[in-house]
Structure 1
Amino acid sequence: MPFPLPSPTLLIEFLALGTFAGFLAGLLGIGGGMLMVPFVTFIVASRGVESGLAVKMAIATSMATILFTSISSLRAHHKRGAVRWDLVRGIAPGIVIGSLAAGAGAFALIKGSVLAVLFAVFVGFSATQMLLDRKPKPSRVMPGPLGQGAAGAGIGFLSGLVGAGGAFVSVPFMTWCNVPIHNAVATSAALGFPIALASTVGYVIGGWNLPNALPGSLGYLYLPALACIAVASVSTAPLGARVAHSLDVRQLKRVFALMLYALAAYMVHKGLTG
């Protein structure tokens, strides 16, 4: 049976979204999920998919793209020697457990409207983090292996619910514990892959018996969107990273934070009216 292809217009929309999200991810060092989830929700819902399911498909598809984008980001950070692999070993086991629990369990049980509001809360949190520049107390340090595993489980669970790579929690957590920001960002990039892998496996398990909402969907995953966004974002993220060296990224982050607030408002509207 041949694979059903979506319309060219739909493919162009997802390629454009991936291009934009990848460029901004490289420029500002943020995860593309915060951008992609609201737009994928809108695109999928406009094709007749029920609002709550559209939110879930957007979250799952956005998370799956991180499987590809995290690899290129990790390679760049590893070459600079910025990844704290000791922290990756401590946090990753908890992340896998938390991500699987979210993707294979809670994600299927929680209504899409609730997930939309939850996503909006964390986008708003991330936007606020961009606007504020609070310094941690000098005495704070990373917890031991048990504490790191517990933190990883929380990061993985929250990430699995909202379709983000975990940087919106892991970077503030590590910098709060006085891990230098460049090490925190690089380590978060390394943690993005296990979050995405465990969550995606969970989404497939949790949505295995769902009927295809659109041609090419697999449970909660929408494969044409995944392919287009992954290809485009991986291609444009390095360009954004190069441009970042010639611009005042701090000012751009303030503007981007305002856009995130607008996207959060859209997801709240979607959650309350869906």
Structure 2
Amino acid sequence: MATGALPRGITRYRDRYRVRLDVNGATHALGVFDTLGDARAALDIAKGERARGTFVPPAQIRAEQRAARIKAATDALTLGEWAEQWLEGLAANPDRSPSTVLSYRSVLRTHVLPELGSTRLVDLTPQQVAAHLAALRAMPSKRHPGARANGVAPNAARVLRSCLNAAVRRPDIGLTSFAFPEAPSQTQVRPEEEDGDVATPEQVAAMAAAMPEHLRAAVLLAAWCALRLGVLGQHVGDTDVGRRPPF
């Protein structure tokens, strides 16, 4: 069919039929169709909608459908799924220590996600978080069964708060705000002992003397330099004492 014989609004496009319609001074693409009959039908339907004032541009319909799909996906995102995304982002950040990310992952995997991981982010409430933290705080300490509290809840609260704050800052996540409950404070976990649990200088000296010669310095460094298990990774060259003078 010759181009001039086509109805206004329909043009040939690569052996197919492109349909456009002017509405309120703007031209809207209705689509490209294989047959002239389909193109005419689409044009007639759109003209009827224009006459009734119900016409919605196809581009707007597609955008709304795409937004609805994205919203459905973000609304379905669980805390566990978001936590994994968050941890992966931290791991990819060169300014983040790998040991910190490993610690966060361990806290979430052990103390948060078993209970809350399957909850959708949009369904998570401060009351749920508060109840979970209270349950963690009430758990007896494995290392110090006689203690009145354990050190789990404050760490879990700190990591979970950071995880949720990061979700709030992401406009594509769907969590617009989260009023994190008051977190439990860090308290002493070890039960009080009449004789105390801090070694005296004499006891430190005795422990160092009882160690193999190559490990004695570790006891002294740990006791007098406030080093933790990191002392076991120290080398002679890491200290000024073990370095040769430059002359």
**TM-score with structure 1 setting the length:** 0.23
Greater helix fraction, Structure 1 or Structure 2? 1
Q: Which has the higher strand share?
A: 2
TM-score, normalisation: structure 2: 0.25
Greater RCO between the two (CA within 8 Å, min separation 6)?
1
